[in-house]
Homo-oligomer: A and B are copies of this chain.
């Protein structure tokens, strides 16, 4: 139980210079091709994975709904939502007037020990059931930031210069209801690290406990979001047929979960690069100078068994025919695959994607499988990721949503 120091063997070749490039790939030096290194052996297991619910672009259109249903069941199994929904209904705990809208603070009670706060921004123009956007923040971004607020209890004035990811503010100014949640452990839902004045959140500690209990950070977060989504459907000022999910960065993960589990969601704003998270782990194998290979990311992203079922583009493909916009690029290969799903589902016009400006007119990688041996920078370059240009792309999202929603609003207000 107590960690002891590693003990080097006398024979270890410590003196010779370490060359990361020589270790970038896993190549067995043995005639039988096996690995003595456990990490090498595990890489072999990883390369053997064929996700059970991968999208097959060659499937007949008639098989598409059955594949979607299978993927939905797999997602339901992984997310492990409690089978009993909460008894207590959400309650409003604060209201504040803002220019052109009001902001309400509510609490949901998804689990016995929990009060989960969320914000609702309602335009003053509300005269009938409106489209509503559930806003799912990026890592470390509290709901208040997305709403342009500066205080958890709404007692302080709104931000004079809202940040570039204040998506809820943009949505309510369009005349739509915006509901904003916190990712678990963020903002008000953080822990002692916030009282100690830290900027980051102790995601790892929170995620670890959930994993030990057989759950996951994403299962927990998405479950709270699901309870809030259920509440949204019951509000008379919300058009339940025009509920949109808008995820930024980390928020695209609960977006994918809720999107798959709730076939009545109207449309999706996917504001991140479209990542093959399994492939990323497979190919980012080049160690740093100290011999460490890149870890996938924090254990907040760990859902045991997820990789056996699907990669992210498979999930986005399964959202078809419902409208999806991807705003921060990715590999052309993956966009072609998702577009094929929309074709099969009979709605090719419902999938939009945009490369980052830096890559929009550049020569982009066009292969089918990334090579192994990449470090993070090489991986990002090959799949067209521009990390310094990672923000809510309102200039792409708002016109796209307007075009989808204006007819709907007119229908809803005869």
Q: How many copies does the complex hold?
A: 2
Cα-based distance from A192 to B307 in the complex (angstroms): 24
Interface assignment of A299: CB less than 8 Å from any CB of chain B: yes
Given contacts A38-B184, A38-B185, 19 further A-B contacts (CB under 8 A): A1-B252, A1-B272, A1-B275, A7-B145, A9-B145, A10-B156, A33-B113, A34-B109, A35-B114, A36-B115, A37-B189, A38-B189, A39-B191, A39-B202, A39-B206, A42-B209, A191-B287, A197-B291, A204-B295
Which residues of the partner chain B approach A275 to less than 8 Å between Cβ atoms?
A: 1
B interface footprint on A41-63 (CB within 8 Å = 1, 0 otherwise): 11111101100000000000000
CB closest residue in chain B, given A387: B2
Chain B residues near A43: list those with CB within 8 A.
113, 209
User: A208 to B302, Cβ gap below 8 A?
Assistant: yes
Contacts of A199 in B (CB 8 A): 5-8
Pair A49/B115 contact, Cβ less than 8 Å: no
Q: Taking CB as reference atom, which chain B residue is nearest A199?
A: B6
- A293 contacts which chain B residues (CB < 8 A)? 191-192, 202, 205
Closest to A146 in B: B7
A173 within 8 A of B: no
Chain B residues positioned under 8 Å from A113 (CB to CB): 33-35, 40-41, 43-45
Whose C-beta in chain B lies nearest to the C-beta of A78?
B214
Q: Size class of A's contact patch?
A: 35 or more
Q: Tell which of B198, B209, B305 touches A213, judged by Cβ atoms closer than 8 Å.
A: B305
A291 and B194 contact, CB distance less than 8 A:
yes
Q: Which of B3, B193, B299 contacts A290 (CB 8 A)?
A: B193
A361 at the binding interface (Cβ < 8 Å) = no
Of B184, B192, B212, which is within 8 A of A296 by CB? B212
Could you tell me if A200 and B45 are in contact, using CB atoms closer than 8 angstroms?
Answer: no
B44 contacts A3, CB within 8 Å? no
**B140, A6: Cβ atoms closer than 8 Å:** yes
**A343 interface residue per 8 A CB criterion:** no
Q: What residues on B are CB-neighbors of A211 within 8 Å?
A: 211, 302, 304
**Taking CB as reference atom, which chain B residue is nearest A216?**
B304
Residues of chain B within 8 A (CB-CB) of A409 are none
Contact of A152 among B11, B48, B151 (CB under 8 A): B11
Docked complex Cα distance between A194 and B16 (Å): 11
Contact flags A157-171 to B (C-beta < 8 A → 1, else 0): 000000100000000
Interface secondary structure of A, over-half rule: loop
Q: Which of A1, A142, A385 has the most CB of B within 10 A?
A: A1
Within 8 A of B (CB), among A266-303: 272-273, 275, 277, 281, 287, 289-293, 295-299, 302
Q: What residues on B are CB-neighbors of A8 within 8 Å?
A: 199
Q: Are B37 and A7 in contact (CB under 8 A)?
A: no
Nearest chain B CB to A18 CB, angstrom units = 4
- Residue A354 CB within 8 A of the other chain: no
Instruction: Say yes or no for A201: interface residue by CB 8 A criterion.
Output: yes
In contact, A210 and B42 (Cβ under 8 angstroms): yes
Report how far A140 CA is from B2 CA in the complex, Å: 11
Which parts of A177-226 form the interface with B (CB within 8 Å)?
A: 184-202, 204-206, 208-214, 220
Q: Quick check: B198 and A7 within 8 Å, CB to CB?
A: no
Taking a contact as CB atoms under 8 Å apart, the answer to whether B249 and A7 are in contact is: no
Q: Please, which residues of chain B bring their CB within 8 A of the CB of A186?
A: 6
> How would residues 1 to 28 of chain A score, 1 for a CB under 8 Å from any chain B CB and 0 otherwise?
1111111111111100010100100000
For residue A114, which residues in chain B have a CB less than 8 angstroms away from its CB? 34-35, 38, 41, 44
- Check A150 for interface membership: any CB of B closer than 8 A: yes
9 nearest A-B residue pairs (beta carbon): A196-B291, A44-B113, A214-B305, A193-B291, A6-B140, A41-B114, A39-B191, A18-B196, A34-B115
